[in-house]
Amino acid sequence: MADIGESLREARMRARADISEIEAQTKIRAKYLRALENEEWDLLPGPTYVKSFLRTYAEALDLDAKLLVDEYKLRHEHLSEVELQPISVAAPGRERRRQPPSLPPWFFIAVIFVGLAFALYLLGTLGDDPEQDATGPVPTATTPRPAPPPPPARAPARPATMSLRIEATGPVFVCLLAGDRTLVDGETLQAGDRTPVFRSRRFRLTLGNNAVRLRINRRARTVAPSQDPIGLEITPRRGRQPLPADKRPLCE
C-alpha cells in the first residue's frame, strides 16, 4: 500500500480540493491536515486524534477510512500482548460494587425521641424536694410535660444520577466514559448522529471540536467554540466543568 500521506494528497488532488476547503468541510485545522499528508505525526495532538482525523479526512475524500487507520496502527502503534486481546464491552446490567447498608432515616429520629424522653425523666426526678415531709399532701396530678420539638426539615436531595445524550451538528470526535465504563469508544459522529441516552453519577467527555449539542436531563446545552479538543466532566452537583488535557479520556 502507498504511504498514508501520499494517498490522502493524491485523493485531494484528484478531487481538485484545496486544504482550506477540506478544513471547512471536516472542521479539522489546516495545519493538522498538512501534517497528515506529510506524515508529521509529532505535530498532531496524539494517537487518538491522529486516528480520528485520519478517519474524518478519508471519509471526506471517499477513501477507505478503516484501511488507512489500520495501516497507521500497523506502522506507528506498538501494542502489547494485553492490548492485542479482544476488548470486551461491559454489559449494561453489570453488577456495581456493593456498598455497606446505611441506617434508615427513621432510626436517627427514634434515637432523638428516646434521648428527649430520658432527659425529661431525669429533670422530673431531680426536681423533687428530698426534704419534703413524708406526711405532706400527695399530688393528685402530674405537671404535663412539653411535647418534643419536631425534627428539622430536610433539604431536598440532589439527584443521584443524571442522563446524557450527545447530538452531532457536524463531524466530531467523541470519547465518553462513565466511571470505569467506556460508553462511546473514540468515534467520529457525523451531523445528525446522536448517541443513546446514558445515565450515570459522573461523565468524562473528550470532543474533537464543539460541533455537538448535549442533552443533560433532557435540557439542551451547547459547547463553547474551540478549534482544539475539548474535555468536560459532568456531574449532578457541579454541572459541566472543563478537564485539563492530562485528565481527559483518550479511548485508546
CA separation for the pair 180, 239 (Å, rounded): 20
Domain 4-83 has CATH 3.20.20.120: no
pLDDT value of residue 132 = 46
Query: How much is the pLDDT for 103?
Result: 65
Q: CB 153: neighbour CB atoms within 10 A?
A: 6
Domain layout of the chain by residue ranges? 4-83, 162-247
**pLDDT of res. 149:** 80
In which residue are the cell numbers 488507512 written? 68
Three cell numbers written together for 73: 496502527
How does pLDDT run across 102-150, given as a tens digit for each residue? 666 767 787 787 888 888 777 766 555 444 444 455 555 566 677 788 7
* Residue 135 CB partners (closer than 8 Å, separation 6+): none
Q: Which tens digits make up the pLDDT trace of 62-95?
A: 889 899 899 899 888 764 443 444 444 444 444 4
Q: Is the model's pTM score more than 0.85?
A: no
Q: CA-CA distance, 229 to 43, in Å (whole number)?
A: 14
Q: Where are the beta strands (DSSP E) in the chain?
A: 162-168, 172-178, 181-189, 198-200, 203-207, 212-216, 219-222, 230-235, 239-242
What was the pLDDT predicted at 127? 52
Q: pLDDT value at position 95?
A: 42
What pLDDT, on the 0 to 100 scale, is given for residue 143? 64
In this predicted structure, the answer to whether residue 4 has a pLDDT above a threshold of 70 is: yes
**Residue 104 or residue 54, greater confidence:** 54
Residue 145 identity = R
Between CA 44 and CA 207 the distance in angstroms is 15
